[in-house]
Structure formats: structure tokens, C-alpha cells
Amino acid sequence: MTAVQFDEPLNEWYQRYVRAISTGALGVGLQGTTSRCRQRRKRHETARQRITIDREVQHDERDEIIGVRLHDLTAEVSIVAMPFGSYNKNEDSMHVTVSSWRRVDDNSIPARGKIAGAYVNSAFIKTDAVRAGFDEAIMLGPDGYVAECTGENLFVVRNQVIYTTPRAGILEGITRDSLVTLARDLGYSVVEESISRDQLYIADEIFVCGTAAEVIALREIDFRKIGEGKMGPVTRALQQEFDKLVSGRHVRSAAWLAPVPAMDSSQFPVLSSR
């Protein structure tokens, strides 16, 4: 796979996107994507962005042939920015469950990218959890060890050491990688190793993270209190560091954040209603 260079510090986000595309052998050019994302981001102060590859049926007769395939189709890139509120109802601490559904195997759908079809797996799990009265669900992998939540990576704290699940079988979260760095900056040891279900129940603290979720503590799992049943000191420290980071008040903010100049409302396109 040929590396594609994007504007820093957005580069790592788009490199992950390119890697996800390569798993499906999709030929899509993404040069100029970062500037287009900035243009869309200007219009929504609290927006989250989603870049998707759409299949169109307008450019090639082969696209009109119905079938299950990724080849011989015209790929197009779309960029959407929209207002985004709270990702989870309880953003300070959550009561979650370990789902009876397993996370989809890497050998079924690659975990390296945010592939839309893979989210059906997360949707089943999240819906079952919420309907049962939980805030979120933890997914086990095909091997029976902890993988991640439906939209977040997971960390366990025991005896002041932070543990997180191996990269194999999870989405390689950029927020996850950021927190690993922030934790080490604070002097914590971070260990990547397999985590069993019963290790969750005896943890001092557990927290989850993601682009939308940011950093959230888990207070209970399956009605078992985690630690003192509230956000612990390690999670609190990392949440504060992350908040400083994303609000431009951290020593790493200049290198990790991509500035988006303000856009005058007169520059917004006028949409006609029908």
C-alpha cells in the first residue's frame, strides 16, 4: 500500500482511513480531503465529522449490475459534518453489561477501519443493552477475552497500572492512543494485554474512550460495583488532561489539534426548500 501524506495533525486520522480502504481493495483518491473537512467543520462549532465511501450507479454500466462485490464499482467520497451532543446518557459514569453477542471476528470483517457493515454488530449489542436498562455494553472477542465497547476502547486500572486490550480484534482508536501517551506523561505504566471478563469485576477503575465518548468512567458492570462505584482518581486525571488537550490548553495541543478558522455566516450556501 502506498502511503498518502495529509496535512498534520490530521494525518493519522486519514492514514487510518486509507488503511481501511485498502482492506477492501477500494481505489479512492483522498488528496485534498483535509482542506475540505476544514471547510465543513467551520460551519458547525460542535460538529463531528464522518467521511464515507459511497457506491454510485451513475458513472459506469457495470455499477448497474446487482451483486455482492466491492470490485468493478465506482467509489465516491462524501464528507458530512453535523452537530453532536452527548454520546451517552450518563457521561460522568456508566452502568454497563457484558453482552451475550460477541464482537465480529477479524477474519469476518476487518477491525482496522470503521466499516459501515461492521456497525450492525455494535448496533445489536448497544440496543439490547439500552433496552435492558444499561448505558453501554462490553463486547468479548471470539477468543472470549474483552475486546471493546460498541463505540469505545476500554482501559482497566489495578494497583495504579493501566491495562488495555491488544490491538488485534479492536478498532485502533486514535483517542485510545492519545490517552496512552497522556497516561505515560503523568507517570503511569500502560500495559497492553488480554483482559478476562472476571478481571473487569475486580478492577479498581475502568474507563472507556472514543472520538464521540471522549473519556467516561464505568461505575458498575452487570450490577457489580467497580472500585468505589464512581469515577476514580486515575480516570479523573486523564479526563482532565484530555479536556485540556482538546480545548487547546495542554502542552501537546499545538501539535495534536488542527486549527479551523472561523467562517462568516454570509459564506454559508443558501439552500432552497421545495
Is the pLDDT higher at 268 or at 103?
103
Among 22-31, 77-86, 175-184, whose mean pLDDT is lowest? 22-31
Is the pLDDT higher at 210 or at 20?
210
Measuring CA to CA, how many Å separate 222 from each of 97, 165, 254?
A: 5, 20, 40
Rounded Cα distance between 226 and 146, Å, is 16
pLDDT in tens, 183-230: 999 999 999 999 999 999 999 999 999 988 999 999 999 999 999 999
Average pLDDT in the chain: 81
Number of residues in the chain = 274
pLDDT at 64 over 70: no
pLDDT in tens, 141-164: 999 999 999 999 999 999 999 999
Q: Where in the chain is the domain with CATH 3.20.10.10?
A: 93-254
Is the pLDDT higher at 27 or at 175?
175
92 CB-side CA count, 13 A: 3
Phi, psi of 235 (to 5 degrees): -60, -45
Band (pLDDT 50/70/90 cuts) for residue 179 is very high
CATH superfamily label, 93-254: D-amino Acid Aminotransferase, subunit A, domain 2 (3.20.10.10)
The pLDDT, as a whole number, for residue 71 is 76
The pLDDT, as a whole number, for residue 5 is 43
Q: What percent of the chain has pLDDT over 90?
A: 51
Rounded Cα distance between 232 and 218, Å, is 9
Q: What residues are labeled active site?
A: 114
The pLDDT, as a whole number, for residue 39 is 52
Pick from 181, 120, 215, 167: nearest CA to 16: 167
Give mean pLDDT, residues 79-90: 75
Question: From start to end of 92-170, where are the E strands?
Answer: 93-102, 136-140, 146-149, 153-158, 161-164
Q: What percent of the chain has pLDDT over 70?
A: 71
Is the pLDDT higher at 23 or at 149?
149
Band (pLDDT 50/70/90 cuts) for residue 6 is very low
